Amino acid sequence: QPHLKQILPSLLAGGAPLAFNCSAGQDRTGFATAMILSALGVPRDVIYADYMLSTGFRRPENEMAKARIDRYAERNLAARSYQQAIARGGAQALKPHPLVDEQGAPQLKSAFDEIEDRWGSVDRYLDQSLGIGPGEIARLRSLYLQ
């Protein structure tokens, strides 16, 4: 929610193009992108296909330099995770893996499932958790859809 509370108001204000990222560009970024695409009415299968592109385009070697990993590992969970992975298997250990669960479903599906279990729909999640109601959704669509 904290990331979406920064991104969505910028989009509502017409602040596109807008760049946002996380350490690997697939988890927090993938979720935020999925919520934006959902608000725009993009079909779920298209959102999943977009999310799955992250594996092929991810470049772990650019995510955190070795010097930065060592420097921040003590207090940064992501840096510590990278440090441990490199210690176990070298840089190859950071090779991107497909973003699917054991059944082959996109990992992002579990986020949608949780939202639907707790809020009933993405629209209700956006409204109740972020204050992005029907009026804001209509504005996003008018700004970013042709």
Active site residues: 22
Per DSSP, the residues of 84-131 read HHHHHH-GGGG----SB-TTS-BTHHHHHHHHHHHHSSHHHHHHHHH-
CA angle 10, 15, 19 (to 5 degrees): 85
Q: How many CB atoms are closer than 10 A to CB 56?
A: 8
Rounded-to-10 torsion of CA 76, 25, 20, 101: -100
Residue 16 DSSP class:
-
As a whole number of angstroms, the distance between CA 56 and CA 67 comes to 25
